[in-house]
Structure 1
């Protein structure tokens, strides 16, 4: 949840980046300009350079659920730059906007990460930062979701998402789906939410590098379910965990799982730290060709399978004032 109006959240993503995430509760005159700023930010991160298995976006962690009617949103931008023996450029962008009226809630969220690196010991230069071989992260997500609250504990959801990840060979992944969301437990210090949905998924892998699966474009039906747990120990310590499971209806062994856990601890007002752990598991990762593909296909020695499991741990320091 974004910070209250007239409060500014300043996140320090180590080693160096600044993120601004003000909550937008604006007058009708400023509302249009605020919305345009969010849309421009979304367009910037999606237009980042691209050449492009499941990249994954944890909507629950980014979910906007304002209590008040009207327009709400936030922007975030992080830039790391280093020059010398190691040249580095790292760009993180994210934006979110939500509109609520009574039981209706519509929100759009997105984020991207683009990073390049060159080393003097390998002959790399500062000018070479934006050459293809220097790039090692290039991914983006954009998610649109509509909620209708039937009851305090029952919500209908419809969603659509587009994403890409060059280094998971995902040139484009588009999905749409709908289903119910249940909140069986909601207390001051503990909440539990469960969602389940039918999901139609179109995935286009990089045809110049993918060896399997073939064809590189697929259209499948998946069963997407998630569970979110939020525990607030006190005003200083909180924990959130979300797990997604997405098997194919016609091939249950083709399973994708994504789990995130975030621990937030306030050291002293207004400084807090966050520790975020992510796990992504794909039971049927793609196989690609590390060398040039000849007319008769990819040589056996050049065939490399992506790893089934990815694990990420992030540390952040936040200052609010």
Structure 2
């Protein structure tokens, strides 16, 4: 259902063979890069909605890109990020693989890195009103003092309204989250946590013109056994097309953690500018 709501764009035609090889290269690069650049740590769950609202066609498609990040909060630094994603769309299912990696410097001397690998499968023929799905993710982010994070969950998403102007949708899922942190022995926050969270989101996509897309996504993720323990994430992205396959993007991210580890700020913000190539 969700994939049927996507606007149709003309895309570059590439044979299934080269689609498969590209998918393998993207997965291999980001998997080994995440191992190589990490003295380890990690961040919040990847914002899938800003990816899923991109136009989809049957078969394999995807994108590769990069951006510059300007971040304040726990760490003030400038970073270079690389990302890739691969879709495999059939009449009944949508598979999505996302890989991210980043390098940056803190205060011109200290080094930070992050990496992420995410897999998601949605079932688009179960109901006209919603799409059930399940997903898994591993990632790290040194700026958050996290050496390893694993997330798995299942839920559903739907679209309340859609048309030539864009889309308005929401979703909800239950997730199991394991985190391992790099904290001193004197820290109050535990070094390892295992929690079940309820993750919900609202997303709005507005298309003012053929070459401009504005997307806003808001996540709220409370722990099921303690609603005072929650995370909130807001992402605002502007994407403008240069060609049918190349786009410039500007993104603003805000992340709030009600119970951050010792020495970390509850609020992080990021401003990113980048380029994305879609095939």
Query: TM tier, shorter chain?
Result: 0.7 to 0.9
Tell me the equivalent position of 2:267. 309
**SS of match in other structure, 2:50:** helix
Alignment of 1:164-313 (within 5 A): 164-208=140-184, 211-214=187-190, 216-264=191-239, 274-287=249-262, 305-313=263-271
* Distance across 1 between alignment mates of 2:83 and 2:38: 17
What CA deviation, in whole Å up to 9, does each residue of 1:253-309 have, x standing for no partner? 00100001123457999997543221000010100xxxxxxxxxxxxxxxxx21111
What CA deviation, in whole Å up to 9, does each residue of 1:128-180 have, x standing for no partner? xxxxx631x31112111000012343100101111111121111111111111
**Contact persistence 1:210–1:286 (CA under 8 A):** no
Q: Aligned pair in 2 of structure 1 residues 36, 209: CA closer, same or farther (>3 Å)?
A: farther
Alignment TM-score, normalising by the size of structure 2:
0.81
Shift of residue 250 of structure 1? 0.4
Pairing 1:113–2:102 present: yes
In structure 1, stretches of 5+ residues that fail to align are 7-24, 81-87, 120-132, 288-304
RMSD between superposed Cα atoms in Å = 3.3
Q: Aligned pair in 2 of structure 1 residues 278, 201: CA closer, same or farther (>3 Å)?
A: same
Alignment of 1:122-161 (within 5 A): 134-135=110-111, 137-149=112-124, 150-161=126-137
Q: Aligned pair in 2 of structure 1 residues 30, 46: CA closer, same or farther (>3 Å)?
A: same
**SS of match in other structure, 1:68:** coil
**SS of match in other structure, 2:164:** coil
* Distance across 2 between alignment mates of 1:54 and 1:117: 17
**Contact persistence 1:241–1:262 (CA under 8 A):** yes
**Contact persistence 1:162–1:174 (CA under 8 A):** yes
What CA deviation, in whole Å up to 9, does each residue of 1:93-130 have, x standing for no partner? 212111122111111002111123786xxxxxxxxxxx
Greater Cα radius of gyration, structure 1 or 2 = 1
Q: Aligned pair in 2 of structure 1 residues 49, 208: CA closer, same or farther (>3 Å)?
A: farther
Could you tell which deviates more after superposition, 43-52 or 216-225? 43-52
